[in-house]
Amino acid sequence: MMNQPLEIIPTSIKLSADGGVTIQWTDLHTATYPYAYLRRHCPCAMCRDNPPVVKTTPDPFPILGKNSNPIKTTGATPVGRYAIQFQWNDGHSEGIYSYAYLREICPCEDCQKSNSTG
Amino acid sequence: MGFLKKDSSLNEKEILAALNSINDPDLKQDIVRLGSVNNLKINAGKVTLTIKLTNPACPIKDQIKMEAENIIKKLNGVTDVSVSMDFEVTSQGAGNIPNMIPKVRNTIAVASGKGGVGKSTIAANLASALMKCGARVGLMDADVYGPSIPTLMGDSQKPQITENRIIPPVIHNVKMISMGYFLPKEEAVIWRGPMLHKMIQQFLGEVEWGDLDYLVIDLPPGTGDIQLSLCQTIPLTGAVIVSTPQDLALQVASKAIAMFRKLKTPILGLVENMSFYVCSHCGKRDDIFSHGGTLKASQELNLPFLGAIPLSTEIRRHSDEGHPTALTENPYSKVFRSIASSVASQISITNYRASNIPSMEISN
């Protein structure tokens, strides 16, 4: 059997009701991505050019707008073996978040620190 | 089992303890721990059992059978022994993630960088060889531009279409689908990405594949829309890369390998096609495209080498006649069967390793 290096990919992906998306990785690293953070980092071409305005608090006048709720996912679909696609409650679902990209934007303190220094 | 038997010294435990010296040739674990020993029965000194391997094309099946019989014969109280060999192909255990083709246990993409290296010939023969070993096999021609699978596998009826489902024709006991069935021979497919994506989804999701051990997918050359769509639509079990031995072909093949690695699709190994030519007049061997380049490349890339197929008039003739060489009895069919066995072996190994598909939980 060939010895291949450990692939850094998620072992589990949990979408919780209000917390966000918790990803555990093959190297045992674990972090929770707040929904607003993930939505802001949508990798689709449209969002890259025009970063989306993301609601994080409930709309005080819900009657005036359709998207009155704070951002969260309504579902998620795996994309082959390498990525995941989130469906958002603002109607957007185009972004394909590759596992490599998700790891790159990991919001945990350690990763953010090493990103800013590196 | 009776309470008081003459052969009370002989029990199942003893037999299993003796058999655990036999290892599964692919998984390198003893067959008892793997649960490969089934239907163990002892009847007045007569022992019968079935050994189920995960590779239908295991080349040393008979050897394992003999070894098991010899081991059991030596035990006290055994008068007769009969071991039968069987297989059950494993799947990659896609966890809780919904899959478009849940009844298909494994999907194998046959790919190359460069065109004209013999992908379709290898795909057709790989499917035929796996079928010949008893596996349930499908063959999907994802090469819309140059669908050659219908020619390679021989004439058949067209697929039947009933209420959103496509019933694939069965040729040589292999279920098949190809764009070639839906277009007149002289027409061409001139499509952009979204149409190709739709075709891949239809060929996977709307074709009545039924229960399959292996679905072999023949890809067009390159690293374009079809490859990407396929890797996005289903979690492929793995890819087989075909190349000729020349440097040029290998350089382009490494692009395909890079793509699959990026998309986290396991690479089952490399096949060298057009490896050499033996002149039918003088018997002299000629390395038209050089030789052994693919083996060297697989070593450099740390990937399994699955086998080498020569340039041969016979293989060409079988291909044009629609009767894959793997179904015939000649020296070349053995080569194809050995490649199929290596592919099945790599799949068993990949599936045995911890699943590399994450579990998903949605609680909102």
Residues B67-121 pLDDT 10s: 999 999 999 889 999 999 999 999 876 556 667 888 999 999 999 989 999 999 9
CB pairs under 8 A between A and B: 75
Asked whether the predicted pLDDT for residue B288 surpasses 60, the reply is yes
pLDDT in tens, B195-238: 999 999 999 999 999 999 999 999 999 999 999 999 999 999 99
Rounded to two decimals, what is the model's pTM?
0.88
Q: Which CATH architecture has domain A10-53+66-117?
A: 2-Layer Sandwich (3.30)
* pLDDT value for B5: 47
- Do B252 and B246 meet the contact criterion of CB atoms below 8 Å apart? no
- SS3 of B207-263: the string is ECCCCECEEEEECCCCCCHHHHHHHHHCCCCEEEEEECCCHHHHHHHHHHHHHHHHC
Hey, what domains does chain B have and what are their CATH numbers? 14-87 (3.30.300.130), 107-352 (3.40.50.300)
- Residues in chain A with CB shorter than 8 Å from the CB of B265 are 80-82
Across the interface, whether the CB atoms of B263 and A76 are under 8 A apart is answered no
Distance, CA of B208 to CA of B161 (rounded, Å): 10
Query: Cα separations (Å) of B221 from B98, B118, B324, B338, B351?
Result: 29, 10, 21, 24, 27
More confident residue, B101 or B4: B101
Task: Give the pLDDT band (50/70/90) at residue B292.
Answer: confident
Chain A positions touching chain B (beta carbons under 8 Å)? 1-2, 4, 7, 9-18, 23, 26, 72-76, 78-83, 96, 99
* pLDDT value for B95: 59
For A2, the closest of B263, B304, B361 (CB atoms) is: B304
pLDDT tens, chain A, 118 aa long: 444 567 888 989 999 877 899 999 989 999 999 999 999 999 999 999 988 888 777 666 656 555 567 888 988 988 988 999 999 998 999 999 999 999 999 999 988 888 776 5
Across the interface, whether the CB atoms of A2 and B361 are under 8 A apart is answered no
Asked whether the predicted pLDDT for residue B273 surpasses 60, the reply is yes
- Residues in chain A with CB shorter than 8 Å from the CB of B236 are 80-81
Q: What is the mean pLDDT of chain B?
A: 90
The shortest C-alpha distance from A61 to chain B (Å) reads 24
Q: Which residue of A has its CA nearest to B263?
A: A82
For B233, the closest of A7, A72, A80 (CB atoms) is: A80
* pLDDT value for B361: 82
